[in-house]
């Protein structure tokens, strides 16, 4: 079985962006990090600089177990110099008038070392069509199940799932636990103790699960030539030939289906989960109500290059260093699953 992320240097991510530098109130830096989520790194930087967390913006969240490079903006007066902290390095680029916000990037470039391989003669084209699945990072342990409970208004179950692992009750989980001890039946209040970004992530995870199931079902109904890969929330289906791309809904209360077959599949999957579109209106927590969106069913990995060498970590095995570019919001680990 192949292995990735045996060491942080095995998974390198670099943002591709076109920042316009000019006189302005925002300072732009390149953030290089290891062993940090982007949010944790940004919070650490804010604390070090004695800035509000809201003063720092970034375009996309990057993996913790990786060596990542991305752009951040910091508002207000700041020394125009490089900064080094433990596992965090900031390189000053220049200033500008615009804050960097989520989505403000063109692509991500990945350089991934795939290890523990037997002898192989790998041939991959420079471009490769990939189903645009959400991968394990989106779901973590039980994010989708928590999101489903919130959507179904079973707030008690959501809180029970959040507090299910007593060993991990630190940070916001501790706040949730304290609230339940003070007000045992106020489950909405307990969920509101969670940072908004995280509570939104739960609902997004369930939307992502339905998206994955829809894409897999469409592929399966349109071709018999495919391969399957198991993951924590089901099965990925990869067609062996290219298929026509189309927009697939990330379902919400305002979803309008543009294709009859996609509508039939989505409604069938929602029925399986015992939900409907109106369930995405959460009156007790309007901030978690989602209208819905659309996402490409397929994306293209571009500029693919591979190099095979001896694996210095796994004896008598080979490693493949593979690089490629992906659109924002797509998962490099899905590319690896497709190829290997």
Number of CB atoms found within 10 A of residue 4's CB: 17
Strands (E), 40-198: 56-58, 67-75, 83-85, 88-96, 107-117, 128-131
63 is catalytic: yes
Number of CB atoms found within 10 A of residue 71's CB: 20
Token digits of residue 325: 């570019």
- State how far the Cα of 231 lies from the Cα of 130, in Å rounded to an integer: 16
Token digits of residue 220: 């399966």
Catalytic residue among 63, 135, 279, 311: 63
Strands (E), the chain: 11-16, 26-33, 56-58, 67-75, 83-85, 88-96, 107-117, 128-131, 226-231, 234-239, 247-250, 293-296, 298-310, 318-327
Place of tokens 């951040």: 72
CA-based angle 320:326:327, to the nearest 5? Answer: 170
Hey, which residues are catalytic here? 63
């Amino acid at each position: 079985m192949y292995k990735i992320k045996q060491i942080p240097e095995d998974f390198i991510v670099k943002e591709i962006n076109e920042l316009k530098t000019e006189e302005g109130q925002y300072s732009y830096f390149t953030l290089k990090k290891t062993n940090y989520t982007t949010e944790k790194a940004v919070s650490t930087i804010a604390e070090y600089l004695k800035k509000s967390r809201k003063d720092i913006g970034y375009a996309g969240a990057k993996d913790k177990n990786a060596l990542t490079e991305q752009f951040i903006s910091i508002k207000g007066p700041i020394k125009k110099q490089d900064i080094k902290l433990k596992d965090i390095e900031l390189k000053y680029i220049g200033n500008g008038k615009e804050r960097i916000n989520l989505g403000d990037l063109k692509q991500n470039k990945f350089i991934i070392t795939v290890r523990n391989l037997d002898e192989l003669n790998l041939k991959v084209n420079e471009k490769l069509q990939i189903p645009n699945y959400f991968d394990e990072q989106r779901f973590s342990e039980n994010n989708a199940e928590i999101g489903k409970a919130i959507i179904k208004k079973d707030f008690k179950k959501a809180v029970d799932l959040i507090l299910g692992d007593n060993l991990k009750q630190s940070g916001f989980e501790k706040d949730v636990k304290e609230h339940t001890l003070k007000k045992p039946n106020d489950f909405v209040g307990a969920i509101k103790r969670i940072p908004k970004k995280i509570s939104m992530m739960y609902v997004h995870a369930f939307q992502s699960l339905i998206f994955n199931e829809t894409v897999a079902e469409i592929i399966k109904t349109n071709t018999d030539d495919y391969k399957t890969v198991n993951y924590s929330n089901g099965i990925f289906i990869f067609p062996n030939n290219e298929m026509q791309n189309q927009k697939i809904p990330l379902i919400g209360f305002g979803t309008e289906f543009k294709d009859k077959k996609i509508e039939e599949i989505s409604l069938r999957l929602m029925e399986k989960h015992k939900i409907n579109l109106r369930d995405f209106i959460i009156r007790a927590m309007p901030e978690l109500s989602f209208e819905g969106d659309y996402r490409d069913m397929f994306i293209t990995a571009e500029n693919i290059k591979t190099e095979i060498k001896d694996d210095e970590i796994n004896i008598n095995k080979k490693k493949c260093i593979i690089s490629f570019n992906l659109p924002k919001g797509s998962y490099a680990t899905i590319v690896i699953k497709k190829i290997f």
